[in-house]
Amino acid sequence: MTRSALMLIVFLAAAATAFAARLDDSGVAAPAFRPHAAMAQ
């Protein structure tokens, strides 16, 4: 003899609350030293 009941949980998370580790790869492959520019001087 079994009886079941369902419960729904709705969870609203704000994006601004997230501790999201965001990698910024804008500097990838950018040389730290530019030999040609140095030689031009």
Partner 1 sequence: MTGPSRNRRVAISAVAFALVAGLAGVQEANALTFLIGNGAPQIYLRIGQTGGQTPIVSIDLSGSTGILGNGTPILGTAPAAAGAFRGQTSNFPACPANHVRIVARARSTAAIPRVATLQVNSSANLVHAASGNAIPFTQIGWISDDAVDLPAGTFTGAAGQVLATLATSREIGACHRFQFLNTQVYPGSVGGTGYYTGNVTYNLNMP
Contact residues: partner 1, CB under 8 A: 1-33, 35
Q: Least distance to partner 1 from the beta carbon of 18, Å? A: 4
Minimum CB–partner distance for residue 30 and partner 1 (Å): 6
Cα(27)–Cα(30) distance, integer angstroms:
5
Q: Which CB atom, from 32 or from 40, has the smaller least distance to partner 1?
A: 32
CA distance linking residue 36 with residue 27, whole number of Å? 19
Q: What angle do CA 15, 20, 22 make, to 5 degrees?
A: 120
CB of 25 to partner 1, least distance (A): 6
